[in-house]
Amino acid sequence: MPASIEALINGLYRSESRRVLATLIRLLKDFDLAEEALQDAFAAALQQWPVDGVPLNPRAWLVSTGRFKAIDHIRRRARFNTSLDDVAEELEETLSEEHEWSDEQIEDDQLRLIFTCCHPSLAPEAQLALTLREICGLTTEAIARAFLTSPSTLAQRIVRAKNKIRDAKIPYEIPARSELPERLDAVLHVIYLVFNEGYSASSGTELIRQELAQEAIRLGRLLATLLPDPEVLGLLALMLLQDSRRSARIDGNGDLIRLEDQDRTLWDRDQIAEGSALIQRALSSGSADIYCLQAAIAALHAEAPSFAQTDWQEIVGFYDLLLYRNPSPIVELNRAVAIALRDGPAAGLSLLDDLLARQQLTDYYLLHAARADLLAQLGELDAATAAYAKALELTGQEPERRFLYKKINELK
């Protein structure tokens, strides 16, 4: 097989497989059958494209081939269960009516699938797990780490959710506009989790999983077109503003560069302008939900000429409002860091120590890393080294680990 075609197919799998899967799930109405059909389609591509050439529309070819492979699979199973003959015939009839799938249809299928995975009849933790697995292709192990649970428990949760969708005949569709608001919170939360995993991977050798961040932004754009409400615009603005710093967040070796050390000329000014306009539009409506407030903070960082010229007073004000609207230890942590930058390291350290005293975020490496940084600024080097070591113990993200090792060595 020519290496160029193999590389093309591997690239398509990374960038397109979840979109193709979403369409196959809608067409086949069965998660497991669709996943098997997806694998069969890519296996067929590896065999046929080197001989026949790459099709003009690879996505549509993969959908069509996966559909045929699924019908063949059902036909084989029908030898032992004749009731499956009717299923195969129905699929073949639909296939003849819908023999082509445009890029727009395939794009919409992922949004349909998100609303299916986030259906209110599913438990919230099942909604998140199923979407991260089926929409984003995260492994069961990675999702389990995010949920602080075991892979086996997470796998059972996903299986139960799939069975519930099948047995309750939950439709693969975007809800009617009148139903959208009540369904929106879960969808926004899922998109936000997808982006966060792309922006800062929970584990592995790379800090940034750009394909996930781009998927989240793409889904955010689709949702903003469908429902341009302030919270949707706020989330899209937040993702664009955070992602605008991508090129400056790691060096040539893939190592982490902190915000204060980033080359701001590498920031994507077009994304910053788009995100800032979106947040202004959202805030002008009088709404200030949690995504809008986080986007407003991100905009202040993005628009500051330098780290030293950042308006920490205004950022702390937004964190105060965010903490009032959404009390959480993570918000308290971020607010403490902003207060340290406004009022000095001792002020921030006191707030972090208060979190630990309340047994909040004791296993969250970023709290210990932030605490270590403030201790180092105060000259408490032994305590700072111990805090960095604790942070190192709690993270499996390789670039973060290299950064923490570096900080420990600097203190020594």
- Which amino acid would we find at residue 48? Q
CATH of the domain at 402: 1.25.40.10
Q: Which residue, 51, 74, 101, sits at the end of a domain? A: 101
| Paired tokens of 307 | 């780290």
CA distance linking residue 291 with residue 297, whole number of Å: 10
Query: Can you give the three-state secondary structure of 249-277, one letter per residue?
Result: CECCCCCECCHHHCCHHHCCHHHHHHHHH
Quick check: is 225 in a domain?
no
The tens place of each residue's pLDDT in the chain, 412 residues long, gives 567 888 899 999 988 898 899 999 988 888 989 999 999 999 999 999 998 999 998 998 999 899 888 888 887 766 655 555 555 555 555 554 444 455 566 667 888 888 899 888 898 888 888 888 888 788 888 778 766 678 999 999 999 999 999 888 888 887 887 777 778 888 898 889 889 888 887 766 777 777 788 888 988 998 898 788 899 999 999 999 999 999 999 888 888 899 999 999 999 999 999 999 999 999 998 878 899 999 999 999 999 999 999 999 999 999 999 999 989 999 999 999 999 999 999 999 999 999 999 999 999 999 999 999 999 999 999 999 999 999 999 988 888 999 999 999 999 8
- In terms of Cα–Cα distance, which of 374, 378, 377, 379 is closest to 391? 374
Instruction: Tell me whether residue 145 is in a domain.
Output: no
In sequence order, what are the residues at sequence separation of 6 or more whose Cβ sits closer than 8 angstroms to the Cβ of residue 68? 95
Q: What is the CA radius of gyration of the chain?
A: 24
pTM as predicted:
0.77
DSSP for residue 248? G
The kind and range of the H/E element at 399 are helix 398-411
**What is the C-alpha separation between 124 and 119, in angstroms, rounded?**
9
Quick one: pLDDT at residue 97? 46
Tell me the residue length of the chain. 412
Of 39, 71, 101, the domain-final residue: 101
- Helix %, strand %, coil % of the chain (to 5): 75, 0, 25
- Residue 214 to residues 116, 195, 197, 240, Cα–Cα distance (Å): 21, 8, 11, 9
Residue 365 lies in a domain: yes
Is residue 199 domain-resident?
Answer: no
Q: Are 198 and 216 in contact (CB under 8 A)?
A: yes
Number of domains, the chain: 2
Nearest to 320 by CA among 342, 335, 300, 301: 335
The Cα 155–Cα 140 span in angstroms is 6
pLDDT of residue 219: 85
The Cα–Cα gap between 54 and 37 comes to: 19
DSSP string, 108-171: HHHHHHHHHHT-TTS-HHHHHHHHHHHTT---HHHHHHHHTS-HHHHHHHHHHHHHHHHHTT--
Q: Is residue 326 part of a domain?
A: yes
Residue at 368 is within a domain: yes
> How many angstroms separate the CA atoms of 264 and 375, rounded?
27
Residue of 187, 197, 281 lying closest to 234 (CA atoms): 281
21 is in which domain, residue-wise?
Answer: 1-101
Residue 155 within any structural domain of the chain: no
Contact in structure between 157 and 189 (CB atoms under 8 Å): no
Question: Given 101, 134, 151, which residue is the final one in a domain?
Answer: 101
For residue 176, tell me if it sits in a domain. no
Partner residues linked to 203 by β-bridges? 396
